[in-house]
Structure 1
């Protein structure tokens, strides 16, 4: 795994809907810009060796960093991958849609649910929205939220941006009824 850089984003929301947010809503993202292990190779049938060589290391690197940046116990979490133009969306999916990657974040967040995800291909500076859901119950609506991520100089054509996002709470000022009220 060749990491070009790490980017950490911390967002704190003090006011929403014209009202103070108490406590302040906090969201953190840590993104790694890495070389795409499959770029410029043509169609690679077996992505397994690249997954084995990179996915667990990425999860092990990013999971503690995003929890540390959040500065609180995560209540919501998500993941994302943006593949540079010399790669395939499947390359990002291969790295983030494996327990070798995700279990590091589940353990760091004391989570049990599947990690919601986004994958896309794009040029350097493309933005992407990482979806997040509650760490133990994906039906808790208050924690369904997204955070926008953009790394101005990434991904280069032969790179992938891999990001983890965590929130210390649900959406600020959330007031939707629980899902069970509609069942």
Structure 2
């Protein structure tokens, strides 16, 4: 990751035993991890930023593996995922788009494969900004029980010349899903695979 200058990595984990209903036998664990890196394009317009995507692949793989370990889950134990980015104000929204391809690849690689598109959200903001990372089922985007989010932020980041690249993962869906729709055990082809 020589081309990627990391200032810090921040991880947050939630363990959800219930959401107003009966306690679960095993909690749903969800978490988010963000790497705060220097934005090499901050403060200026650069026409060709695409080469940075290859440099971000090792970072995506590394932070996803760290989050899987923090959730105490093997790759197949992860049921839902998402990604996001917060660009400091000296950058532009297009700099967040650098994360789309490498993070999708890194997440799937760390999990040993997954079929659904990885939902994403991005923004340009000041240090301390928080962002909701969308989550949905890793093998079929239409599994309604796994539509969720996890909030993430770094108190001192991103600085104006930084980007926070984020991965969100969950070991399950919402604790008490009861609004119908496709269940995880009913997934078949075309249920929201990429």
Q: Would you say same fold, with TM above 0.5?
A: yes
Number of the residue aligned with 1:143? 146
Q: Is the 8 A contact 1:77 1:167 kept in 2?
A: yes
Matched length: 176
Q: Which runs of 5+ in 1 are unaligned?
A: none
Q: Is the 8 A contact 2:21 2:176 kept in 1?
A: no
Number of the residue aligned with 1:127? 130
Number of the residue aligned with 2:72? 71
Number of the residue aligned with 2:53? 51
3-state SS of paired residue (1:44) = coil
Q: Distance in 1 between matches of 2:81 and 2:24?
A: 20
3-state SS of paired residue (1:146) = strand
Number of the residue aligned with 2:106? 104
Q: Which runs of 5+ in 2 are unaligned?
A: 184-194
Q: Could you report, residue by residue, the CA deviation over 1:144-177 in whole angstroms, capped at 9, with x for unpaired residues?
A: 1000011111100000001101000001111111
- Does 2:116 match 1:116? no
**TM-score with structure 2 setting the length:** 0.86
RMSD, aligned α-carbons: 1.4
**TM-score with structure 1 setting the length:** 0.91
Q: Is the 8 A contact 2:61 2:110 kept in 1?
A: no
Structure 1 segments of 4 or more deviating over 6 A? none
Q: Is the 8 A contact 1:57 1:101 kept in 2?
A: no
